[in-house]
Structure 1
Amino acid sequence: MCTTRIASFLVLLSSLCGFTSNAQNFRVESNQDSLLYYLKSEADQQYPDADATILYNLGKTELVYSGGISNSKYEIAFKVYNASEIGDLADVIIPHSSGGKISKIEATTYNLENGKIVETKLEKSNILIDEYTIGVDVVKFNIPGIKDGSVVRYTYTCEFGPLLYSWDFQKNYPVRFSRFDFYANKAYILTPKVNTDIPFKEYSSLKKYNQSKEPAASCEEMTEYQYQIARTWTRRNIAPFNKESFLYNEKIYKERVKIFYNGYAGNGYYYPIVENWEKFNKEVWYDKTFNMVFQKNQFLDQTLKSIIGDTRDSIEIAQKIFYHVQNEIKLNNRGVEIDQIAKLKAGNEMSINKYLTALYLRAGFTSDIILLSNKYFEKIDPILFNIDDLSNIVCRVVVKNVSYVASASSKSLPFGYLPLSYYNGYARIVNKEGGAINLTPALAIDNNNYSVSLKPLKKDAADYEMKVKVEYGVYSAIGIREEWNKDSLALINRIKGNSRDYNTIEGFKVNKIYVENSKDLSKKFSLIIEGELKWAQNVGNIMIEPYFFKTFSENPLKEKNKRKHPVEFDCVTVNKFKFFMQLPDHFEIDEVPEKKTLVFGSPTLLSFNNTVIANEKTNTIVINYQYESAATPIPETEAEDLRNFFNEMLKTYAQKIVVKRK
């Protein structure tokens, strides 16, 4: 599944289930005048470019202590302005645990036809249930009769799980009213964490809270049952979330509330799920969940012997073990123990990386397991313990006093690299001692090399030999390597049909396209394009655009207004470019680009260095540039300076070479 789909799925997962009472003023479908008003509305008055407006969004979770059924309820109503752009609202996907249940699904679309309000209801036959993965099913349906101008309301109930513990007040659309209720027995250990642009006015009475018209209000009160606490939050008139470039973890910036659940306690008893990370590591992860990984596991000896052979260098041994697991063990959704995975030759991410860690330990390396939360989940909180935030498991191995993190379940990355979304800060180490590690984006490096060579076939000819070579960095290589291995001919034809993607000179004919290291992840994937360039024999001056490969073809900071969030880089980027041109004897150099050095930040966060050597004696031109960006977030207050930095880079790329006939 592609990253975009995974991200969409997880967004849906995080906005699962809910309902609330009160707020009847916002139930537009119950009031004909209000419904007619919104049906006639042609644009959101405050946000005229919005494709939809959330009229209300209501959620409620009831966490039952014993007996009864824990459940979450959800309800939403929205006005549609542009139906073609609201797939996330119109195509509903509700994930739930296989042991859970989605019920009471209702969906109604209201349209205005010939001055009359027409209702279209969701039919049960149009509700689909699919298995997404082992232990997780999805309920799917499309909102019926939706079009520009519609008003839609739908609701459902989720029983058992996964229940809703977090709530996004802020969406990608303007929100008129949003409320989240969380009812739980007073014995539960619960810690709310709230992130909003304005402070909540706190109430101690639900009655006063329900009468409040504050833009942000909250309340915590014991219910009439005397053992249940109601916690509730309301937000009104919330601006749509401002999606900006270079922003990779929207969750930490959206207005939202999250409930941290950590067991239960009362008079004379205290039973937290996680008392502290170190104790949980020892008593649960190390002693139980991953216990087999840290045993002697002599049954792995024969496998290691076949992998290592006569190799003596420790880094080579570590790489051989990694690539053996990566290539031999297929990724699926089934969790198996390490004594079974070699026989089955398949397993899920946890199984594969447990097996990798066990092999390293048996081979004599220091190795352990890393538990992390990727950027589509919540960040792990060092203080508010919540094991549900853990989303992925990888392996760490120490070779020659250097620590390497690796995931053999990631089939497109070499030894020592993780998917970019995994570099999400604080993560937990599982071994006898425990501990934490910071998986910063600075650990991910994407190093690309580009070269262009242009030489005359004969000293006085107008025909040139041209060679373009791209050595892709680890992350830049993923897509094009996959495309080549899937259908190399299709990629070749695409390049030939769009050769201006790879050069900016008229008359260039592609003769040959080939690659290096298409299967070997331990080496750089390289794409080579060879061809000929023909110029007219009687031409006087020739203008050449030498910057065949640009880090950016336009300013990547596209926001027209003042930026609201920090600028984040998901990895360290290093781009090196070299252009070489040998002129024929009957041409001479007339004009070349200027040298330029740009530096942003102190200490340096981004740099761009462009050098130009025009040698009249040898009749050659050599241009080199190097662009580097660190993975350090840049405050939004410095975004305009960064935009200017990119503009200066683009000015350099716009410069040309001019050669003239002698």
Structure 2
Amino acid sequence: MRLTILMLTSFLSLQVSAQKDSFKFGKVSKEELQMTECPFYPEANAMILGEKAFLRFEYSDQTGWGYQLTVTRRIKVFNKLEKDIANVSIVVYDPESGGSKEVIAKVKGFTYNLQDGKVVKSKLTNSEEYYTRLSKYRTEKSFAMPDVQNGSVFEYEYLLSSDFISTLRTWHFQHELPTAYSHFDYVLPEYFNYTVSQVGNVIPIEHHEENARESFSYRWTSQGALGQSQSGTSTLESNSRRYNKTARNVPPVENEPFMNNKVDLPSRLEFQLMSVEMPNSTLKVVAGSYEKFNKEIMDWSSFGKTLDKGNFAKDFVATLSGDQDTKAMAIYNWLSNHFSYNNYYGFTSSRAGRQAFNSAEGSVADINLSLVAAYREAGLNAHPVILSTRGSGLPHPVYPNYEDFNYVVAAVETSKGFILTDASTSLSFGTLPTRCLNGRGWMAKEGGGQWVTLKANAQHSFLSYNKLELNEGVLSGKLSIKYGGYYAIDERSKLRSKGSDEYEQDFFSNNFSFDVTSFEVNDESRNLQCFADIEHSLGGSDVLYINPVTIGLVTENPFKREDRMSYIDLPYPQDKKMITTITIPEGYSAELPEPTVVTLPENSGKFMYTATINGNTISIMSSLRLQRTMYAPNEYAYLKSFYQLMADKNNELIVLKKL
């Protein structure tokens, strides 16, 4: 007999002890309204008093298995922020073309204020709710809580229904506001095997779990031997498991120096469906792999199939001669100069090849997939590399998600190995824009892809050479700075966006004590150079204090907090050196700073400072080299002390005393 499920309705019969909530929707106390600060984070302008969610599975004949998530959140406002905290938005997966999606429903909310000792309650209405399509795949449900002011408490609740069960909705215990109480309650039927990971910042989580009996009733039909159709109702039992996880007094996620990928930082629970095993059925492995992911995208007409569309470059390729390095550089320069970039990200394109080339403008995918095709037309070994830009988070290292990637560059093999190129920029061959320097990218290839490091060829240098002379109480001379690699890219970007006059003002704005009598910028080579004539009157005192030119050096410790939860992520290695010579007149003695050498553990960084005098010439050298770009939170204390010692030393003065 063949069994066909026509319709399934479920009801939850959980034989578990109820967990006591720390708050209930609609039950705001006067004590909460009278609060004037967050008890565990007093500087906060607002806080989450409590939030909770309950997730359970369901089934629909139209969409199959899905789940419902009820979310309740209560917020206290101490000082109403310029960015209106009363505006709430919820982004859901909702593709235009149908398929699995998420839906927000049953939104309700209230704002509470204390007026003349009485609690005044304002209700959220439909007129304050908005719906916006953000992209082909995402929509936003937003609403503005009414009558929010200093001292208000507001709360809201909504129901999220989703049939996208391969990755359940991530639950965040940590937000940009401090959170007094965060509770997540979820029930997983025995048929679904999930990997549940606590990721992001490490915070204490209270955990409780127990068995839960669930019963799902469904209607069925069967076809008998004589063709008669029969139907009925049966029950599907599940030995489910219920989990309760609670966090208390959670500090907010805050901006820190050299922070990247803030979206990856909040402490949270992530769910990945590994396999499904229904009753009387075989085990079905669901979790994706990069091997499968690679095969899929290489079969896409908007990705892998575009790479054989290099015919548009045939005539140009026919003019090329020389080795593979010469050809690769020529093709890159040709397309980099040809295309105008429209500032759209993405890693797929329906226009790559002749269509994009003929229009002479396009997205990063239009341009760089065309670049890969042109490389291949010339017989070069080239592949697309997809990645996530800085600030957008890192792709999951094991389970691929198409939405983790928002950019693509072209890798081409040269005599030095694979070089990553991006023709959407005007940068030199082999230099990626800073936005791409984010962990690893996936090189997609026929027959299987691989991870590549995006910072591998990050070249950088900063050299300041200053020649000064003291004469009749006036210190004057020439300043010369050379920026190379990414330092040059960053400075060139500032110069072009601000213009020469504003660039000069900013250049000397950081506690620069000298008067500038002339200033010149040379931007004709890969390096960017700045030259200046400077002078500063020290007066006629018998004791003179000289602050060596410290432009570009670390003179203030960027790390202020006692500890840190997030990684320190530099976009590229740090390599800075300042050499200053000062010629002093006869009749002075000099007190010089002590030489210093400071090294980080495992030789990941080094700072050197020397001060010497030879005859009447003082020489100062300050040098910093950080070879690594990533430092873990447990290395923060070393890095903070390192920067403090460096800043203190760079601020030390030379003392001249008249004999």
Cα pair distance change 1:394/1:150, threshold 3 Å = same
Q: Deviations over 1:588-623 (max 9, x none)?
A: 552333322221213x0110112334221xx33332
Match of 2:31?
A: 37
Q: Specify the alignment match of 2:14 in structure 1.
A: none
| Equivalence for 2:13 | none
**Partner amino acid, structure 1, of 2:41:** Y
Contact 1:510 1:529 in 2 (8 A): no
- Deviation of 1:123 (Å): 5.1
Please, which of 415, 421, 435 is the counterpart of residue 406 of structure 1?
421
1:277 and 2:290 correspond: yes
Query: Once the 2 structures are TM-superposed, how far is the Cα of residue 545 of structure 1 from its aligned partner?
Result: 0.5
1:168 counterpart (169, 172, 180): 172
Contact conserved, 2:113 with 2:153, CA < 8 A, in 1? yes
**Worse-superposed segment, 391-400 or 409-418:** 409-418
Aligned to 1:428: 442
Distance between the aligned counterparts of 2:178 and 2:85, measured in 1? Answer: 13
Q: AA paired with 1:297?
A: G
Per the TM alignment, residue 645 of structure 1 is displaced from its structure 2 partner at its CA by 2.6
- Match runs of 1:348-497 below 5 Å: 348-374=363-389, 376=391, 379-409=394-424, 415-419=430-434, 422-425=437-440, 427-439=441-453, 444-455=458-469, 466-477=477-488, 480-489=491-500, 491-492=502-503, 494-495=505-506
Q: Which residue of 1 aligns with 2:312?
A: 299
1:168 Cα offset (Å): 1.0
List aligned pairs for 1:555-574, cutoff 5 A. 555-560=557-562, 562-564=563-565, 567-574=568-575
Q: 1:273 & 1:301 partners in 2: Cα distance?
A: 43
Asked if the contact 1:180–1:234 (Cα under 8 Å) also holds between the matched residues in 2, the reply is yes
Letter of the 1:67 counterpart: Q
Aligned counterpart in structure 2 of residue 654 of structure 1, from 639, 643, 651: 651
Aligned to 2:521: 514
In the other structure, the counterpart of 1:336 is: 350
Tell me if the contact between 1:406 and 1:416 (Cα under 8 Å) persists in the aligned partners.
Answer: yes
- Aligned to 1:177, which of 166, 175, 181? 181
After superposition, the Cα gap between the structure-2 partners of 1:638 and 1:607, relative to the gap in structure 1 and judged at 3 Å, is same
Post-superposition Cα deviations, 1:26-85, rounded to whole Å, max 9, x if no partner, equal 445522xx4322001122334333333312323456675651596655432111223227
**Within 5 A, what are the aligned runs for 1:243-282?**
243=254, 245-249=257-261, 254-261=266-273, 266=278, 275-282=288-295
Deviations 1:258-277 (A, max 9, x none): 11146866455676566532
- Contact 1:449–1:470 (CA under 8 A) maintained in structure 2: yes
**Structure 2 residue corresponding to 1:625, chosen from 602, 622, 644:** 622
Counterpart of 1:580? Answer: 581
Matched, 1:290 2:318: no
Partner SS for 1:501: coil
Change beyond 3 A, Cα 1:565–1:89? same
Q: Secondary structure in 1 aligned to 2:550?
A: coil
Answer yes or no: is the 8 Å Cα contact 1:428–1:434 preserved in 2.
no
Residue 566 of structure 1 contacts residue 634 of structure 1 at CA under 8 Å; is this kept in 2?
Answer: yes
Q: Distance in 2 between matches of 1:422 and 1:189?
A: 35
* Superposed displacement of residue 628, structure 1: 0.9
Change (3 A) 1:477 1:124: farther
CA shift digits 1:424-479 (9 cap, x unpaired): 24x432112323225265654543222333357xxx66666543343335444555
Partner in structure 1 of residue 222 of structure 2 = none
Question: Counterpart in 2 of 1:84?
Answer: 81
- Give the distance between the partners of 1:315 and 1:45, measured in 2 at CA: 63
Question: What SS does the aligned partner of 1:448 have?
Answer: strand
Whether 1:501 and 2:510 are equivalent positions in the alignment is: yes
**Conservation of the 8 A alpha-carbon contact between 1:547 and 1:653:** no
RMSD: 4.0
Contact 1:555 1:650 in 2 (8 A): yes
- Does residue 67 of structure 1 match 2:62? yes
1:318 maps to 2:328: yes
Instruction: Write the letter of the residue equivalent to 1:94.
Output: I
Question: Comparing both structures, which one devotes a greater share of its residues to strand?
Answer: 2
What is the TM-score with the length of structure 2 in the denominator?
0.78
Seen in structure 2, the aligned counterparts of structure 1 residues 576 and 651 have a Cα distance that, compared at 3 Å, is: same
Relative to structure 2, which stretch is displaced further, 114-123 or 240-249? Answer: 240-249
Q: Structure 2: which 5+ runs fail to align?
A: 1-17, 218-235
Partners of 1:54 and 1:176 within 8 A in 2: yes
Calculate percent identity across the aligned residue pairs.
20
Amino acid across the alignment from 2:350? V
Q: Amino acid of the residue matched to residue 33 of structure 2? A: L
How far 1:488 sits from its partner (Å)? Answer: 0.6
Q: CA 1:372–1:623 in 2, change beyond 3 Å: closer, same or farther? A: same
- Amino acid corresponding to residue 448 of structure 1 in structure 2: F
- Larger Cα Rg: Structure 1 or Structure 2? 2
Aligned equivalents of 1:482, 1:73: Cα separation in 2? 47
Cα distance change of structure 1 residues 531 and 418 upon mapping to structure 2, 3 Å threshold: closer
Question: What is the CA-CA distance between 1:138 and the residue it aligns to?
Answer: 4.2
Distance 1:123 1:142 in 2: 9
Separation in structure 1 between the aligned mates of residue 87 and residue 330 of structure 2, nearest angstrom:
45
Whether the 8 Å CA contact 2:352–2:365 is kept in 1: the answer is no
Indicate which of 50, 57, 66 corresponds to 1:56: 50
Aligned counterparts of 2:428 and 2:79: Cα–Cα separation in 1: 40
The residue that corresponds to 1:605 in the other structure is 604
Tell me which protein shows more helix as a share of its residues.
1
Amino acid at match of 2:601: G
CA distance in structure 2 between the aligned counterparts of 1:263 and 1:346, rounded to whole angstroms? 44
Distance in 2 of aligned mates of 1:555 and 1:177: 34
TM-score for the superposition, normalised by structure 1: 0.77
Q: Cα gap change, 1:492/1:591 in structure 2, threshold over 3 Å: closer, same or farther?
A: same
Tell me the distance in 2 between the aligned counterparts of 1:28 and 1:490. 60
Give the unaligned 5+ runs of structure 1.
1-21, 207-220
